[in-house]
Amino acid sequence: MTASLKRGADADALAPGRGPGCSTEVVVPLPQQGKATPTELPGPAAGLAPQAENPGPVEVTLDDQDTEVAAPAAADVEPEPRLRDVFLSRIRKRMLRKLDTGEAEVKEPPEKPILWIIGFLAVSAVTAAFVVSYFFLHLVAEGMGIPGGVSYIFALFPDLMALAAAAMLVFRTERALGWGLLVSFTGVSVAGNLAGHAIQVARGTTPFMLPKGWEWVGDLMAVAIPTGMALVLHVFLKKLADFLAFKKAEKKRNEAEKFEAKQQQEAAERKRKQEEAQAAQEAARRKEAQDRLPQAPTPGATPTGQVAVQFAIAYGIPNCDMSVTEMAHALGDKLSGKGWDSGGFSSRKKWIKQATDEIVAVAA
């Protein structure tokens, strides 16, 4: 039941086909055309002389001691930032973001097929580099006089330490120590590969050697193999870590969305139950009000305005969803149900308007 007619409104608002109080028109006065109020400007009455149409340049001399001239405001132009400042600003923002969130930024990893291709190539390259590096390091172990069984274990140590340091950097565990181990043991592996290459050249057991002037290629390969092995593994593990972190963050995000949806569903369910309880209470109050309506003392007795208003309010007849004619017929039927005379159409319209005014007064 809704009603929005103001007390004292004209009874003619109850026109046929339109419910009472279904709309409220607000009339806003508009300024008349051609009579806009001009903005008052300071003129001679304010102690200022009228300005000329085309004023020329104003000359200010030092002899005018009583004249105060305000210096023009400097343009608010920021100097162009230098590359160093931009770089430091970005680093600072990233560090502050990590401190605020308590965790590193999660980057979107490559697609799973691309990650599989990178992983296959990286593992193949690392395996091949590890085998070649192991060969040279084993020669160094033999050259150091280390006995057979131990020499095989010795040859594993430098490269395994470098690979473990690369993994430590990727998973952000003891980064300072990880960098130190990666650089130092990659250097040890490089030195061992150079020494092993020199031992192999000194042995001269191969059918042929590198041509003269190309000996540096062997040294280059001895440096590149262990270095590339550590770097390739580092990059692959970093991509893998980004993939795992992204999946973990995605799982948390999905769980948060499900939790939020569940909360919204529970809130909607609570609201629905509350509305149902309010509707049930309203229906009970309305039923109680209908039961208390007076019965006509004699069949066909004419109801007073107060009685008719009680009937209209109890049955929710002032309703915007109904036309005035429908409300008038409904009120007449309810009065007749208690033995009262239904009254004329104009009387019923007046009673409906009185009921609307009373509802508005109570709501106010």
The model's pLDDT over 227-286, given as tens digits with 9 standing for 90+, comes to 888 888 878 888 887 888 888 888 898 999 999 999 999 999 999 999 999 999 988 988
- For 22, residues 6+ apart whose C-beta sits below 8 A from its C-beta are 4, 320
Q: Which of 3-7, 37-41, 321-325 has the highest mean pLDDT?
A: 321-325
Tell me the average pLDDT of the chain.
75
Picking from 187, 176, 185, 164, the residue whose alpha carbon sits closest to that of residue 234 is 164
Dist. CA 329–CA 81, nearest whole Å:
81
Place of tokens 């004209």: 10
Three-state DSSP state, 28 = coil
Q: Which two tokens stand for residue 172?
A: 């952000």
**306-to-255, 330, 355 alpha-carbon distances in Å:** 61, 17, 9
36-88 pLDDT per residue, tens = 444 444 444 444 444 444 444 444 444 444 444 444 444 455 556 677 777 77
Dist. CA 154–CA 146, nearest whole Å:
8
The pLDDT of residue 62 is: 42
The pLDDT of residue 79 is: 56
Residues forming a β-bridge with 133: none
The pLDDT of residue 269 is: 94
Rounded to 10°, the helix 324-337/345-363 angle is 100
Picking from 286, 285, 306, 307, the residue whose alpha carbon sits closest to that of residue 296 is 307
Place of tokens 């229906």: 283
Q: Where are the beta strands (DSSP E) in 56-183?
A: none
The pLDDT of residue 25 is: 38
Least confident of 185-194, 206-215, 258-267, 294-303: 206-215
Q: How confident is the model at residue 3 (pLDDT cuts 50, 70, 90)?
A: very low
Helix (H) or strand (E) holding 105: none
How many other C-beta atoms lie within 10 A of the C-beta of residue 345? 14
**95-to-92, 176, 199, 204, 337 alpha-carbon distances in Å:** 5, 17, 48, 55, 80
The pair phi, psi for residue 57, each rounded to 5°, is: -65, 140
Dist. CA 117–CA 99, nearest whole Å:
35
How many other C-beta atoms lie within 10 A of the C-beta of residue 303? 22
The pLDDT of residue 261 is: 93
The pLDDT of residue 273 is: 93
How many other C-beta atoms lie within 10 A of the C-beta of residue 314? 19
Mean per-residue pLDDT, 289-310? 88
Three-state DSSP state, 301 = strand
